[in-house]
Amino acid sequence: MLVLVANLGTTSFKYQLFRMDGQGGAVLAKGGYERVTDYAAVIDDALATLQRDGVITSVDEIEAVGFKTVLGKDLSGCVEADDRVIEALEGFAAVAPAHNPPYANGIRQFRASLPKSRLVALFETAFYQWVPEAASRYAIPRTWHEIGIRRYGFHGASHKFIAERSAELCGREDVAQVARRLYLDGPKDISSAPFRAISCHLGGSSSVTGIRNGIAIGTSMGFSPQSGLPQNNRTGDLDPEAIPYAVKTLGITLDEAQRQLCKESGLLGLSGVSNDIRDVNAAAAAGNADAALALDVLVDSIRHWAGSFLLRMGGVEALTFTGGIGENGAPVRAAVCAGLEEFGLLLDPEKNAACRATETIISREDSRVKVIVIPANEELVLAREVYRKLS
């Protein structure tokens, strides 16, 4: 089965074409476009490129297109990308304005460009469908909850891949099997000892998720991708009373307050330097106190959420790092793991310093908790789930 994975941003379009079978998948081609103003044009150009390069002879060979949709109103899971999905995306367009409108538009465009292909949406919230209610509810009036305000969680494809791969690397194939088939079978009980993992997806957008026996038990992100850890230029968690106070005191509108929280906060707002952690690291190394503070706030938030999941699960067998910062940021990994020897976590400084975006166990041989770097592979997860659903 040929599966095209479509990654749609506000002004970008990236794709990967997979050949999928019962044993796994292989990438046949990949490409992308930036500063997109006409999605129909770039989608058709991508399909023409695949034919011109000899990857396919006809667009009809593409049997399915997978979309990593973010947040749907009253809808989650791995589902056919039909009118119901478009309505769900548009219903929460104001909550995820950078993600939902491009995906709704993209689904429409692919319907026209690939009329014979089946379209499948894997919502980022799908991995959190079985989170305990106490971990998904806010302490708000019931009427607020009834209109859909709750903790949803994001980066679901990334954390699901960590659930599978960390279990495999720790010799827990029983747990890996549950995680692999989660969207088909739902959660399954594990009769043997529990396997508890904490997954740190750290990048331009970051989140921490607690995973027990392949199933998420909670996550740092909540109602929107704005919440949780400080992001590259988004604030993360914030006391709600801060917003009306800032509006009144600074004399700005609510829309302007939201813009500043989404565009001028996070690492950028703290450091005053950049929203790119590489620039923040360089500034901190040169003695910039604000840049050093930005890094400290990020690490403190990661430890806050990781610590909460350790307590909620009663222990942890694997602490994992993924995403651009997680895979390349040895100093951040070291700071997160500092002083945890009493919990059985012994980081190997040399392994940690040497690891750059490669799958590596960076804890000491005698560490009770395995610390693992696992490169993100959200596209493969999406291709797998599309293949499983349609098979």
CA distances, 247 to each of 75, 237, 243 (Å): 33, 18, 6
The CB-based long-range contact list for 296-303 (8 Å cut-off, 24+ gap) reads 297/230, 297/270, 298/206, 298/229, 298/230, 298/267, 298/332, 299/332, 299/335, 299/336, 301/220, 301/228, 301/229, 301/230, 301/236, 301/237, 302/200, 302/202, 302/206, 302/208, 302/229, 302/332, 302/336, 303/336
Q: Are 25 and 383 in contact (CB under 8 A)?
A: yes
Say if residue 324 carries a ligand binding annotation: yes
Say if residue 312 carries a ligand binding annotation: no
CA–CA separation, 24 and 20 (whole Å): 6
Question: Strands 360-361 and 62-67: what pairing?
Answer: unpaired
Provide CB contacts within 8 A for 223, sequence distance 6+.
Answer: 95, 138, 149, 150, 151, 152
Say if residue 196 carries a ligand binding annotation: no
Say if residue 124 carries a ligand binding annotation: no
Provide CB contacts within 8 A for 284, sequence distance 6+.
Answer: 291, 292, 294, 295
CA–CA separation, 318 and 372 (whole Å): 7
Say if residue 325 carries a ligand binding annotation: yes
The tokens describing 352, both together, are 């940690």
Say if residue 323 carries a ligand binding annotation: no
Say if residue 328 carries a ligand binding annotation: yes
Say if residue 365 carries a ligand binding annotation: no
CA–CA separation, 77 and 178 (whole Å): 16
The CB-based long-range contact list for 234-241 (8 Å cut-off, 24+ gap) reads 234/205, 234/261, 234/262, 234/265, 234/266, 235/261, 235/262, 235/265, 235/266, 235/269, 236/265, 236/266, 236/301, 237/301
End-to-end CA distance of the chain: 9
Residue set of the binding site: 7, 14, 276-278, 324-328, 378
Residue set of the binding site for Mg(2+): 7, 378
Residue set of the binding site for ATP: 14, 276-278, 324-328
